[in-house]
Amino acid sequence: MSTNVDDQKLEQKPVFKASSFQIIKASKKKYVWKSLKQIIASEKTLPWPEDCVHYGSINAPPSFKPPQKFSDLSGLPAPYTDPQTRLRYANKEEYATIIDLPMDITAGYLALRGATSIVG
């Protein structure tokens, strides 16, 4: 009796599935993220109304806050500047490192930041 019931269950197809239903395997290709430059370029090609706001149309006024300064060695917020070398530092350990640096490396740090060369 149980074999007859099992045979009936196998023969019955689910009502909610269509007969043309097929399983398609997803590709193993990973999603590639777009950069902001690519997003702006693709938005410029689309026809936008005049009052629509998108990445390319946002015009922000200049900030009234001064730019935040970061340490030249560690990248941490730097409240201090060495008056001799003009390198920015965050704590006393970085200052001890700055004192021991030769002038060519100090000039390299300033060049990376885009600061003017050392005077004196």
Residue by residue, pLDDT tens for the chain (120 residues) are: 555 655 555 556 666 666 676 666 666 667 778 888 888 888 888 887 877 776 666 676 778 899 899 999 999 999 999 999 999 999 999 999 999 999 999 999 999 988 865 554
* pLDDT at position 11: 59
CA dist., res. 61 & res. 58, Å (int):
10
CB-based burial, 20-58: b 16+ in 10 Å, e otherwise:
eeeeeeeeeeeeeeeeeeeeeeeeeeeeeeeeeeeeeee
* pLDDT at position 79: 95
Indicate the DSSP class of residue 49.
-
* pLDDT at position 68: 93
